[in-house]
Structure 1
Amino acid sequence: MEPYLIISDVDGTLSIDHKHVSAPTVKVLQTLIAQGHQFYVATGRMYVLAEDMAKQVSDKAQVIASNGAVYDFGGGRIHHLLGAPALQQVLQVTNQTGLAAFYFSDDTIYYTQDPTPEVEKAMYAFAPDDVTIAVQQIPAAELVTHADTITNGFILGINNPEGLAKTMMLLAAGNFVHLSASNHDNIELIPKQVDKATAVKELQAKTGISAAHTIVFGDGMNDMGMLQEAGVSVAMGNAVDAVKDVARYQTTSNLDDGVAKFLTDYFNL
């Protein structure tokens, strides 16, 4: 059988509780990997957290992290970086609006302002107990010195929709960074002209696996681009309506092993 490129979002799609992949899903994916298909998790999480989810599936499972800014290929990692101009713009805007911004390399979180307790809790919400994340508070003036490793970031506006909307407007006007959101209280900061779809297209080109043999699962707005790059696009039962409208297929929810059920039927396992 010609190999497929199988790509799954994590939260609300592959994972059942943000930290674990169910045993039935692991079993199906391991079977397909053993048959020669390639499997990637695709998430907004930093690389080290995405890698933890992939390892739950298989040591041969691979990673698209940071909303497409970094991904595995050929035994190494491909990186797209936010860049110094984007970092400087984000600092300027968040200083003006008072929201907290966090910046990510593959294994380190950087921040410049003291976080509120709510924000600090959110920083570690998806971190498993067995994964160590370096967290560094640095002076704002030093942020750009890490521009050669920072791939992405996010801004939190918990209980502050007005501040979040203003921040989004100002960043969009500056046009230095690609903006997305994984839920209603954040802004995802991604390198310009990069998203999960970018990684999918680059992997299709590098692997020689066509869109017709690409299967993508997703549930949120930041999955829509990569769903449109797949010949087999699958919305979870718990997906937002816009995702269901874009996807060619629909499966059950993440809590009902939707990824495993679709793949079992599709490959006649």
Structure 2
Amino acid sequence: MEKYLICTDLDGTLLNDNHQVPKKTRRLLRKLMKEGHYFSVATGRLFHAANEFAKSVHEEAFTIASNGSIAASKDGIFHQIKTDNAALIKIYDVCRAEKVRAFFFSTDTVYFVGEMPSHFKEDDDKERVQAVKHVSINERETFLTHVDDMINGLIVEENDISRLHDLRAELEQLPNVHFLSSHHNNIEILPKSIDKAVAVQTLAERLGVKQENIIAFGDGENDLGMIEYAGIGVAMGNANEALKQKADFVTETNDKEGIYKFLKNRF
């Protein structure tokens, strides 16, 4: 039997608008895994939060977190690449000077500059920064104490979105760092040359799954590399237009069980 590796983003993809994995989708993924196929979440969330969702689908599920900086099986992390410390320090200094909210992630801790954004305190969005600990790093000395633990980061602008364009242009001059976006109001900070596609490739090779047998689902810019790399790249109905143009298929929206409908038809 040809084995497939199914990789899905979380927010706006696997999760519905209530931040839940739809029951029919979960049942089908479990059925496919029982038949010998593989499943992995592939998200920008930090490892702790991503792993919780992966295990809620199946205890044998794989976890790709921090936009490809981390990949893990049930036995633990087997792929981990952190962002260069010098780049993180420069980004921290710029964000503090510009008074822009920034978050830096280890595997289980969120370090944040400024106040936690209001929407991260609300029930609908607080899971996006779900972690064991949240640590304020408004003091530079505190930041430097923890920088060795930081794998990747996120810059958020809630009010003047146009500021992000100029800020990203400035930060992209830095060496050894890479930027993507998972939402119109953020900038994702990653190690150079790392994205979800790198981790998906690493996982597929580990499992012996052919590239043409990788099915990837996503909805945002940070899913683009994964969608292009997969043999079968699927954009959600709610995905941005750039992703839809690059995908092999477009399915229903995340709130209409797009993953379930595509996989049910495929298998």
- TM-score, scaled to structure 1: 0.91
Q: Which residue of 2 aligns with 1:118?
A: 118
**C-alpha spacing 1:123/1:99, structure 2 compared with 1 (3 Å):** farther
Matches within 5 A, 1:46-195: 46-73=46-73, 75-77=75-77, 78-111=79-112, 113-115=113-115, 117-118=117-118, 121=121, 125-127=125-127, 133-138=132-137, 139-195=139-195
Q: 1:252 and 1:90 mapped to 2: Cα distance?
A: 37
Alignment deviations for residues 145-166 of structure 1 (CA, whole Å, 9 cap, x no partner):
3333211111111112243222
**C-alpha spacing 1:198/1:117, structure 2 compared with 1 (3 Å):** closer
**C-alpha spacing 1:93/1:123, structure 2 compared with 1 (3 Å):** farther
Q: Is the 8 A contact 1:179 1:188 kept in 2?
A: yes
Percent same amino acid at aligned positions?
38
Letter in 2 for 1:81: K
Number of equivalent positions:
264
**C-alpha spacing 1:191/1:123, structure 2 compared with 1 (3 Å):** farther
Q: Is the 8 A contact 1:4 1:213 kept in 2?
A: yes
Alignment deviations for residues 196-253 of structure 1 (CA, whole Å, 9 cap, x no partner):
1111121122222111110001111111110111111111112111111111112111
Helix, strand or coil for the counterpart of 1:20?
Answer: coil
Q: Which residue of 1 aligns with 2:244?
A: 244
Letter in 2 for 1:184: H
Helix, strand or coil for the counterpart of 2:155?
Answer: strand
Q: Which residue of 2 aligns with 1:197?
A: 197
Q: Is the 8 A contact 1:10 1:18 kept in 2?
A: no
Q: 1:209 and 1:119 mapped to 2: Cα distance?
A: 39
**Runs of at least 4 residues off by over 6 Å:** none
Matched, 1:34 2:19: no
Offset at residue 47 of structure 1 (A): 1.0
Matches within 5 A, 1:247-262: 247-262=247-262
Q: Is the 8 A contact 1:66 1:152 kept in 2?
A: yes
Q: Is the 8 A contact 2:102 2:114 kept in 1?
A: no
Q: Is the 8 A contact 1:5 1:215 kept in 2?
A: yes
Letter in 1 for 2:8: S
Letter in 2 for 1:9: D
Offset at residue 33 of structure 1 (A): 0.7
Q: 1:100 and 1:164 mapped to 2: Cα distance?
A: 11
Q: 2:131 and 2:241 mapped to 1: Cα distance?
A: 36
Offset at residue 18 of structure 1 (A): 5.5
- TM-score, scaled to structure 2: 0.92
Helix, strand or coil for the counterpart of 1:24?
Answer: helix
Gapped regions of structure 2 (runs ≥ 5): none
Offset at residue 51 of structure 1 (A): 1.5
Q: Is the 8 A contact 1:51 1:63 kept in 2?
A: yes
Q: 2:250 and 2:162 mapped to 1: Cα distance?
A: 34
185-194 vs 65-74, which deviates more?
Answer: 65-74
